[in-house]
Structure 1
Amino acid sequence: MAHPKAALIERVQAEGRGKPQFDTERSGPDHEPLFTSRAVIQGTAYGTGEGGNKRDAERRAAEAALKALDAAALDASRVDDAEAPFEGPWPVFEGVLAAALQVANDRVARELRGDAALEAVHAFALRLYKGTLEDLGEVVEEEA
C-alpha cells in the first residue's frame, strides 16, 4: 500500500485540486519534540496529525485527510430520499388519470386534428396528471 502522504497527493491531483500542502509546526523541548501537521487542500485543512518527528506527523495528517475525503465522498453519494430523483414508473390512479385526460381533451383547441390533437391532449394531460400527483404528495420527476 502506498504511503498515506503519497496516496493523498495522488488522489488530490487526480481530482484536479492541485497538490496538498502540509503545514507542520514543532513544539516541546529539544529532547522530546512534538510535531503537529495539517494537510491543507486548496486552503482548507482536511486532517491533522501529531508525531515525534515531522514524517510521522505528516503521515498521520495525510491519513486523517484521506478519511475526511472518503467521508465527504460517501456523504455526497448518499442522496436524501426527498432529494432523490424519481426513477420508478409513475403511480397510476385511474380516476385521476381519466379526469386529467377528460380535462385535457375538453381544453385542447378544437381545430387540431390527427396527431397534432393527440400530442396536445397527451402533453396537457401529462402536465395536469403530474401536477395533481405533486399536489397529492406523490413524487414526480420531469423527463429530460
Structure 2
Amino acid sequence: MTAAPPGDARPFQDILDGYFTLRESLRQMAARQGFDGVTLTLTHAPVMDVRGLAADEPVPLHLRDGHAGLIDTLVVTALFGAESVLLLGAGAWRWFDDRADPALPADVRLGEPAFVRGVGWSGVTQTEPTTPQVRPFFA
C-alpha cells in the first residue's frame, strides 16, 4: 500500500471555459482553486479541433477549418508545473466527421463551458510534472 501524497486534498466543482485549449482551461481552473493537481470527470462536452490557433487564442465564432465532436465521458488527472501541464486520462468521445486520427489532440478545445467535479490537491512541491512510473498494485 502506498502513502497518500503530502498536502491538502479536497473535492471541488467548477466550470471550465470553452475558449482556450483544454490544457489551458484546466490550468486556469487550478489556479483559481489553488491546486497543484486535479483528477476530474468531464461528461457530455462538445469539443473542437481547430488547427493553427495559439493555446491562449479564443475559438472562432464559426467552425470552418476544424473538426467538431462530443466527449461522452473523460476522466483526467492534470499535474501543474511552473511551465507545463501533464494530462493523463481515459474516456469515450466521438467526432462528427471522418477523421484520419480519431484521438483527442493535445490542443483540443471545449466547444462551450463545461461543469466538472473532481478532487484537487495542493501543497505538493514539484518542479515540473513528469509521466509517473507505473507499478502493479500487487507484487
The structure that is strand-richer by fraction is 2
**Greater C-alpha Rg:** 1
The structure that is helix-richer by fraction is 1
TM-score by length of 2: 0.23
